[in-house]
Structure 1
Amino acid sequence: MGGQVTAPGDAATYARPFTRGRLLAGYVGVLAFLVGAVVLSLILGHREHAQPAVGGKYSSTSACLSKFTLQQSGTFVDASGPGSTGGKLRLEHHRLKGHVTCSGGEGAALDVPVPTSEPKTLSGTLNGQAFQATFTEALPPPGASAKKPPKRSGEETFGRLMLAIAAVILAARLVGTALGKIGQPRVMGEVLAGILLGPTLLGAVWPAAKDYLFPADIVPLLSGAAQIGLAFYLFLVGMELDPRLLRVNAARAAFVSNTSVAFPMALGMLVAAPIYRLLAPHKDYLPFALFMGVSMSITAFPVLARILVEKRMLKRPVGALAMASAAIDDVTAWTLLAFATAVASASSSLGWLKVVGLAAAFTIGLVVVVRPLLARIAVAYDEVGYVPQLWIGTIFVGVLLAAYVSRQIGIAAIFGAFVMGLIMPRHAGLTSDVSRRLEDFVTMVLLPLFFVVTGLKTQIGSLNRPILWLLCVLLIGVAVAGKWFGAMFAARWGGMRLRDSAAFGALMNTRGLTELIVLNIGLDLGLISHALFTMLVVMALVTTFMAGPALRLLDPKEELSAPPEEEFRRARLEGPVPETIVPQRSIIVAPQDDTSVDALIALGEPLARSQPARELILVRLVRSSRSAACTPAQSRSRHPTRAPISSASRPSRTSTS
């Protein structure tokens, strides 16, 4: 089981076979480490308590702080107000302390006790004098503008929305192209463009332009379109996962994938204990720790696939194993995320069991009931050579309904869209046809909107203390140690040589877009604070950008990549077959039943071999099923010179001379 790979070049990659005993011992060790880390995390976290929520807008009668806003990320609280009013405060042991700058420019010491429940009034001392502030308004959602949206007509709103979308697409194309020229995945350039359009760069350098492009009434529209894009993007990811990736070295791929998820998840749950006290919002520890574990264990399957293609590693042992492991990783990650959101959304301590049960029933229902219905799409495709519009509409509606049901159950909406993609028929032509109709619009228009919505939530300026940057570096270190070294250890245990194992770990450390999706879900559910969200976004960018340089350092001679001439030969072999010269005259054989086929061919073949040469065409009538039904107008528009026929009924041509 899990023996040596037989593909060329494997002897240089795998130093020893992956025996059943080695596989079992590896799983026992990984499971013991994961269980031990989870138990230790829960023991440590059980004693910790998140700080009460004090974020919001306040007013007081004090001349120093008459109107001010508190932005909270765990124990770190930033006060801001008109003019130079502001300060950096700490909330520890239910006391809010620190120095603030008053509206007149003078400094003052603030000391306010904070009750366990969310306070409506803050009462304490300011510069030794009695101080009382009243809560007036909640803060806007992350990424939304604090300014009240202006009143616009429908046409004006539409125009501003089109301007925002055009700016996002243009920035994504420019930055994506620029990063592509220096060897980075273009999609990461698009991610970076979205972040630069937010308060991190544009909002800091030219805030008026940022507010004009993304006013308060336009951001929710962008967010809604981005969520639609995410649903269809995850549908495409699920549909394009190829089960054939797992047929070679299935045991090895499953082991290294599971280990590369278990190691970072264990470390993520361990680091959750100290992070919870410092940066967590007012949430229970268990969902927070689960989310930290999931966020550390992500591998971006689409970004990894693009890197492997660009590096010509897809057909090589290291690249093939990385692709198979990332495919398993993807399914595991979305399942774990669904579990984490179920725990976070549960209304009681055991409510998550109900959510998990409903999610399992929903998934089984999709597989048992919906999948056989979708199998008829393959029949329709075979009969007409494309997916009819009726079925395309059915697929779109199915994706949206699956996302809706997932959210109603209490898990992430994109989980339903992803499962919908997984149960699609595995048919190369069908997958290509559906992807062709969806992919360009989703990846060029809708996904960049998600990047800019993420960028509007990301504020590098919120990491305004040395300790916050130290915590950011700590999280990056934990992420790299868990994913890179965890995957490297798993590959090494699976028999891979040291250099190749290190390259495999660098590939699996790619988080990219998938990590950003997970982080946005965590922020929307209130599982992570604003500063922690920014730290994890930085971690996702760093771990993805480091993949290319790490591969160049580990494999400077590109021994893990296919030579360019080999890729050229493969492209020629896999390319379109040149058209043969078809004789001008033909002989059509149209039997009424199968019993007369041989006799008619025996009569027609000598005539076809005579001079001049004739083409022998065998025609068989196949009646179209209702699943391939389309209107006559559609048929004429797609095939102006002939009626649509199935692949089985198309003439089989045999040229003879």
Structure 2
Amino acid sequence: MPELAVLFAALAVLLGLARLAGRAMARLGQPAVLGEILCGVALAPAGQVLPAPVESTLTSIAQLGLVLFLFTAGARLAPSMTAAHLKAAVIPALGALLVPLAMGAVLAGWLARRHAPAGTGPFVVFAAAAVAVTALPVLARILAERGLLDDVAGRRALSAAAVTDVAAWALLAIAAASLHGWSSTSSLPAVAALAVLPVLARARIGRWVARLSPPSATVVLVAAACAAAAATDAAGLHPAIGAFFAGAVLGHAVPVIEPAALVAPAGSLLAPLYFVLVGRTVDLGGFDVALAAETATIVAVAVAGKYGGAYLGARLAGVPPHPAGVFAALMNTRGVTELVFVSIGLGLGVIDSAFYTAMVVMALVTTAMTGPLLTRLSRQREGV
């Protein structure tokens, strides 16, 4: 069979399976991404059954889906990054960021001897940031489903998640740059200029893009996402980093056209393919007793650091106990952001496949526990 026919057939099968698995998980009250990841895990034992060129093309298409997905995630951050929202969320956000960062760094120092192929320094920075991540896209979806998107608690959680995620992505960029002995930082001024330029010309860009038809505006935004991805990739970082920050910048620069809404359909179509391929890279065959113990420790530290730090920060900000508990449960959601984060770390060579598997398990556990935990807190408030 011609390779092009194999490629299209593989796309049809993988996207179809991803959709079915996502819907099945959604019916259980869980995010669809959990089903997409588990679909990939189920396919992993089959190994590489497709020709190498087809596998390579699928990976490239999945990477495009990742770039568009993270551009959308960055654009969705913009409304939560206003001065008023950040002022109300700064103390809770610091608790949700600094405590898991510190606990993650201590944990990484212990794990580095087994799982740091590129050295202890980049591994510790990466692992600490990975523990501190909150999944903003999944968080927004959970808030919308529970009618909390416009609630004070919902806005607080979104703003705090924006702060923690921007900090985590910045740390990922630092870890990536350090892999090259900081030689790649010679290219970082160009990347910074690419990110700052839309801000400096905000009014002009806003007026120009606002005059475009939705299809034309979509093309401009997708081109911007790809250009930013190419810039950070050329700088020795990961293309997804550029896409994320470009989305955050353009979300502020041209809010009138809602960049996230225009680009989201393309990202939603291709991103499931990426998460299926992420699941295929999970090596459950290497899950020995030592890795199982490390995974349990990672999950415990991640939950204690994120939930405890977020709760402490909210209480210090004067939030009552119950809303502080809801805030902490929401901030503990890792979801797709964590999965993307650790897959980038694996691709950069900062972590090994065993640590990657453990972090995927942690992401799945912390995401799956969010819904039941929120339901339990809701029943406690109602006295059920």
Scaled by the length of structure 2, what TM-score is found? Answer: 0.91
Counterpart selection for 2:369 from 540, 546, 558: 546
Deviations 1:326-351 (A, max 9, x none): 1222221211111111112x2xxxx3
Counterpart selection for 1:411 from 204, 214, 237: 237
Cross-structure match for 2:38: 192
Cross-structure match for 1:449: 273
CA distance in structure 2 between the partners assigned to 1:438 and 1:289 by the alignment:
34
Counterpart selection for 2:171 from 333, 336, 359: 336
CA distance in structure 1 between the partners assigned to 2:81 and 2:145 by the alignment:
19
**Contact residue 509 and residue 544 of structure 1 kept, 8 A:** yes
CA distance in structure 2 between the partners assigned to 1:370 and 1:378 by the alignment:
9
| 1:160 maps onto 2:6 in alignment | yes
Superposed, 1:563-578 pairs within 5 Å as: none
**Contact residue 298 and residue 511 of structure 1 kept, 8 A:** yes
Counterpart selection for 1:315 from 133, 147, 150: 150
Deviations 1:519-547 (A, max 9, x none): 11111122212111111110110011000
Once the 2 structures are TM-superposed, how far is the Cα of residue 371 of structure 1 from its aligned partner? 4.0
CA distance in structure 1 between the partners assigned to 2:358 and 2:5 by the alignment:
35
Counterpart selection for 1:532 from 349, 355, 364: 355
Once the 2 structures are TM-superposed, how far is the Cα of residue 387 of structure 1 from its aligned partner? 4.1
Once the 2 structures are TM-superposed, how far is the Cα of residue 243 of structure 1 from its aligned partner? 3.5
| 1:379 maps onto 2:207 in alignment | yes
Once the 2 structures are TM-superposed, how far is the Cα of residue 241 of structure 1 from its aligned partner? 2.2
Q: Matched residue pairs, number?
A: 381
CA distance in structure 1 between the partners assigned to 2:85 and 2:131 by the alignment:
26
Residue 61 of structure 2 aligns with an amino acid whose one-letter code is A
| 1:399 maps onto 2:225 in alignment | yes
CA distance in structure 1 between the partners assigned to 2:191 and 2:17 by the alignment:
38
Once the 2 structures are TM-superposed, how far is the Cα of residue 182 of structure 1 from its aligned partner? 1.8
Once the 2 structures are TM-superposed, how far is the Cα of residue 515 of structure 1 from its aligned partner? 0.8
Cross-structure match for 1:298: 133
Once the 2 structures are TM-superposed, how far is the Cα of residue 438 of structure 1 from its aligned partner? 2.9
1:197 is paired with a residue whose SS is: helix
CA distance in structure 2 between the partners assigned to 1:438 and 1:252 by the alignment:
29
Once the 2 structures are TM-superposed, how far is the Cα of residue 245 of structure 1 from its aligned partner? 5.7
Cross-structure match for 1:267: 103
Residue 238 of structure 1 aligns with an amino acid whose one-letter code is G
| 1:366 maps onto 2:191 in alignment | no
**Contact residue 168 and residue 452 of structure 1 kept, 8 A:** yes
Distance of aligned partners of 1:497 and 1:220 in 2 relative to their CA distance in 1, 3 Å threshold: same
Distance of aligned partners of 1:393 and 1:242 in 2 relative to their CA distance in 1, 3 Å threshold: closer
Distance of aligned partners of 1:246 and 1:468 in 2 relative to their CA distance in 1, 3 Å threshold: same
**Contact residue 339 and residue 356 of structure 1 kept, 8 A:** no
**Contact residue 191 and residue 231 of structure 2 kept, 8 A:** no
Greater shift after overlay, 172-181 or 295-304? Answer: 172-181
**Contact residue 342 and residue 411 of structure 1 kept, 8 A:** yes
Scaled by the length of structure 1, what TM-score is found? Answer: 0.55
CA distance in structure 2 between the partners assigned to 1:558 and 1:181 by the alignment:
25
Give 1 or 2: higher strand fraction: 1
| 1:171 maps onto 2:24 in alignment | no
| 1:251 maps onto 2:87 in alignment | yes
| 1:423 maps onto 2:253 in alignment | no
Residue 169 of structure 1 aligns with an amino acid whose one-letter code is L
Q: Which has the higher contact order (CA 8 A, sep 6+)?
A: 2
CA distance in structure 1 between the partners assigned to 2:303 and 2:281 by the alignment:
24
2:102 is paired with a residue whose SS is: helix
Gaps of 5+ in 1: 1-151, 560-657
CA distance in structure 1 between the partners assigned to 2:67 and 2:333 by the alignment:
21
Residue 318 of structure 2 aligns with an amino acid whose one-letter code is G
| 1:242 maps onto 2:85 in alignment | no
**Contact residue 72 and residue 247 of structure 2 kept, 8 A:** yes
Distance of aligned partners of 1:369 and 1:440 in 2 relative to their CA distance in 1, 3 Å threshold: closer
1:495 is paired with a residue whose SS is: coil
Superposed, 1:462-541 pairs within 5 Å as: 462-463=286-287, 465-541=288-364
Deviations 1:105-150 (A, max 9, x none): xxxxxxxxxxxxxxxxxxxxxxxxxxxxxxxxxxxxxxxxxxxxxx
CA distance in structure 2 between the partners assigned to 1:547 and 1:480 by the alignment:
11
Cross-structure match for 1:138: none
Residue 332 of structure 1 aligns with an amino acid whose one-letter code is A
Once the 2 structures are TM-superposed, how far is the Cα of residue 293 of structure 1 from its aligned partner? 0.6
**Contact residue 260 and residue 487 of structure 1 kept, 8 A:** yes
Give 1 or 2: higher helix fraction: 2
**Contact residue 117 and residue 351 of structure 2 kept, 8 A:** no
Quick one: percent identity of the two aligned structures? 34
